[in-house]
């Protein structure tokens, strides 16, 4: 038996049963092509949201945005691995992050029902960290899409509670930061519980100048 021919036949059969496309560019028969993998190379950027320092590993645009959307909206959880270095780079940008607890923003019950997994926790695990689930939602937050920064603040205000982190250094972790309203609320809740918040680390940041309809894939929390 020609083993390579057999392997090809098996690969062909699997491609037929489970058609796969590159999550970044749509190239066929590969989950993530070399070019798109390159586009996920960490390029940490920082911003301040009302004094909260936020580090992000990638810009939420082009290939990275499409790969993140596939992870979040298409159930392609294996993409957490190639995305993880960007989150790890954002976390490592905090000098004291080695001793900090990594606290993911809570995943809503509706998102959990829809996806079956928590994206920030998946990314923390894939980057070799341990998620400390210190935050919980105290009420349902409406869809943030289409809201202005001020509306998002009002929408998320007093929607989280933290526990078990008194006196601890923490870094808030989320997948994508847009206006930072969710991160600010997470930081507020953690500080109320006595934590020392170093800042927030996200996989990607939405560049302000590209937030146009249809340019960036819409994502849901
Ligand atoms: Zn590709």
| Phi, psi (degrees; rounded to nearest 5) at 60 | -85, 80
Q: How many CA atoms lie within 13 A of 178 on its CB side?
A: 22
How many angstroms does the Cα of residue 28 sit away from the middle of ligand 1? 9
Read off the pLDDT of each residue in 84-111 and give the average, rounded to a whole number: 94
Strands (E), the chain: 45-49, 52-59, 101-104, 135-137, 160-162, 169-177, 196-205
Tell whether pTM > 0.75. yes
59 CA distance to ligand 1 middle (Å): 17
Q: Whole-angstrom distance between the N-terminal and C-terminal Cα of the chain?
A: 50
| In the block, residue with structure tokens 């601890």 | 168
pLDDT band at 198; cut points 50, 70, 90: very high
Distance 45 CA to ligand 1 centre (A): 23
Residue-level pLDDT at 16:
60
Q: Which residue has the tokens 């936020």?
A: 54
Strand 45-49 and strand 169-177: the pairing is: unpaired
Cα 153 to averaged position of ligand 1 atoms, centre (Å): 36
pLDDT digits (tens, 9 = 90+) for 29-41: 999 999 999 999 9
pLDDT at 211 over 60: no
Closest CA to 192 of 216, 217, 157: 157
Strands (E), 64-195: 101-104, 135-137, 160-162, 169-177
Could you give phi then psi for residue 58, rounded to 5 degrees?
A: -145, 160
């Amino acid at each position: 038996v020609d083993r390579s021919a057999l392997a090809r036949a098996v690969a062909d059969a699997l491609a037929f049963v489970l058609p796969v496309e590159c999550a970044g560019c749509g190239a066929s028969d590969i989950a993530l092509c070399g070019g798109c993998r390159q586009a996920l190379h960490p390029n940490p950027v920082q911003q301040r949201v009302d004094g909260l320092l936020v580090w992000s590993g990638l810009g939420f645009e082009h290939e990275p945005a499409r790969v993140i959307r596939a992870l979040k909206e298409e159930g392609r959880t294996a993409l957490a691995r190639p995305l993880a270095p960007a989150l790890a780079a954002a976390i490592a940008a905090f000098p004291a992050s080695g001793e900090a607890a990594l606290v993911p923003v809570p995943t809503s019950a509706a998102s959990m029902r829809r996806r079956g997994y928590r994206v920030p926790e998946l990314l923390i695990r894939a980057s070799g960290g341990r998620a400390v689930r210190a935050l919980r939602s105290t009420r349902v937050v409406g869809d943030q899409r289409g809201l202005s920064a001020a509306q998002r603040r009002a929408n998320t205000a007093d929607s989280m509670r933290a526990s078990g982190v008194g006196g601890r250094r923490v870094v808030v972790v989320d997948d994508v930061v847009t206006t930072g309203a969710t991160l600010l609320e997470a930081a507020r809740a953690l500080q109320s519980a006595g934590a020392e918040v170093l800042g927030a680390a996200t996989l990607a940041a939405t560049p302000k100048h590209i937030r146009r309809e249809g340019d960036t894939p819409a994502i849901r929390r």
